Chain A
Amino acid sequence: DIVMTQSPDSLAVSLGERATINCKSSQSVLYSSNKKNYLAWYQQKPGHPPKLLISWAFTRDSGVPDRFSGSGSGTDFTLTISSLQAEDVAVYYCQQYYSTPLTFGGGTKVEIK
């Protein structure tokens, strides 16, 4: 199984400042034949189901604000919120879909400082 490790577990950021979340996979999720990273990021607000933010490591889903960006390749990935807004308070999860079992990171809770 591919283990996904997120860091930090939580972070507090001032409004308008940058938030950075890291995700590391125990093996590469880069598929050599198509050069795609099978890595997604989700946002879950309290009392709501998760929402897909980014797939293929850096492709924003429709309607996702451009302050959210994904980067990385292979085993190391980053989700960046360039200018934190109040509505971004949530738990963020990374997930690999390179192989089954599909696995998630433990989540990173983002709060306002």
Chain B
Amino acid sequence: EVQLLASGGGLVQPGGSLRLSCAASGFTFSSNAMSWVRQAPGKGLEWVSSDSGHSTYYADSVKGRFTISRDNSKNTLFLQMNSLRAEDTAVYYCVKNSGGSCYSGLGYWGQGTLVTVSS
């Protein structure tokens, strides 16, 4: 059974940093593309970043501030978020892509972790 357990969210001041983690199990993590997607309170879905293991991709809204990475030895995905802004406030979902490519459906979503950027 696929499991994605995201952690690391919380309340942070504007300009601050947070590091999200996502512990994955139930599939071969190293050969699967992974993504982060966020959802602001009461709003729709916004893609943030994807990592195929060979390439990384970012939304323009986070490029230069967020960094996606993975530790295949620990089956863990990360999202380092710097220079946080109020508009980054959202539930952040860790997502398993449907295959090894980032150009694939978002096959399985974890429960998400809430990031609140406020003074």
**Which chain A residues have a beta carbon within 8 Å of chain B's beta carbons?**
38, 40, 42, 44, 49-52, 55-56, 61, 93, 95, 97-107
Contact = CB atoms under 8 A, between A and B. Distances in A.
B44 A101 contact: no
Contact of A52 (B44, B105, B111, B112): B105
Contacts, number: 62
Contact of A95 (B50, B106, B109, B110): B106
Nearest to A104: B45
A107 B45 CA distance: 8
Nearest to A39: B105
Contacts of A102: 35, 47, 50
A38 B106 contact: no
B98 A52 contact: yes
A40 B95 CA distance: 14
Contact of B44 (A55, A56, A107): A107
B104 interface: yes
Interface residues of B, number: 23
A53 B102 CA distance: 18
Contacts of A44: 45
13 contacts: A49-B93, A52-B98, A55-B105, A55-B107, A56-B105, A61-B107, A95-B45, A95-B105, A101-B47, A102-B50, A104-B45, A105-B44, A107-B44
Contacts of B50: 100, 102
A103 B57 CA distance: 13
Contact of A38 (B37, B44, B103, B107): B103
A44 B46 CA distance: 14
A65 to B, nearest CB: 17
B47 A52 contact: no
A63 B45 CA distance: 23
